[in-house]
Amino acid sequence: MTYAELVAQIQSYTEDEYTTVDVNTFITQAENRIFNGVNLPDLRRNDTGGIDFANKFLNVPDDWLATYSLAAIDPATNETAYLINKDVNFIRQSFPDTDAAHFGKPQYYAVFDDTTFILGPTPDKAYNAELHYFFYPESITTAASGKSWLGDNYSSVLLYGSLLEAATFLKSDPETLANYTNRYNQAMVELTRLGEGKNTRDAYRSGQSRIPVKGRRGSAV
């Protein structure tokens, strides 16, 4: 399903026409709802970058959705340590960065905010980082091709998600809202099954795109 086909179906189902801004809002809200509701193996990447000495913060990629794994790699020995996800407060209380005696090889990480991880202990030297993560694919509303991963692979969940957003905007009657909600939920169940069964290959051994992960004050590897 292309962007033009999706817009036409939204207008046909709701028997209404919308501004481009409104219909794009329905679609992008639906996309965000979908991708935040299921992790799909097809939408994973491996990225590499640098962890800076004495800098406990690490920026995440712009399209980061959720972490699959984060590793700190000693550049001298190539020894890899996979970091354990913890709460921000645990890291801040357990690993104060005011004293270099508390520095060490990072063992833990937490999501500090929408753009940054916090690491603990604070790095005692520079390390390489490898982030394996789920990402937000480009929206069908901005893709030059007018296509998207959802539109190509599971258009029904995108359609019913968009219709649910449109019906909410229009303050549709309860029966209509319930209908779109049920159809959307059914489509999400099928999408989840697709994600669980479609891609069973080992992502660490398959070729995947790599983009830089930058330290807040460091340069990309």
Q: Tell me, yes or no, if the pTM score tops 0.75.
A: yes
Q: Which two tokens stand for residue 166?
A: 């449109």
Percent of the chain at pLDDT exceeding 90: 79
- Of 32, 10, 8, 25, give the one whose Cα is nearest residue 160: 10
Q: 60 pLDDT exceeds 80?
A: yes
Q: 218 pLDDT exceeds 70?
A: no
Q: Residue 124's pLDDT is what? A: 95
197 band by pLDDT with thresholds 50, 70 and 90: low
Token look-up 């330290």 returns: 215
Q: Residue 203's pLDDT is what? A: 41
Residues 127-144: tens digit of each pLDDT: 999 999 999 999 999 999
- Given a contact cutoff of 8 angstroms between Cβ atoms, the answer to whether 85 and 109 are in contact is yes
> Residue ranges per domain, the chain?
3-40+137-198, 43-135+202-213
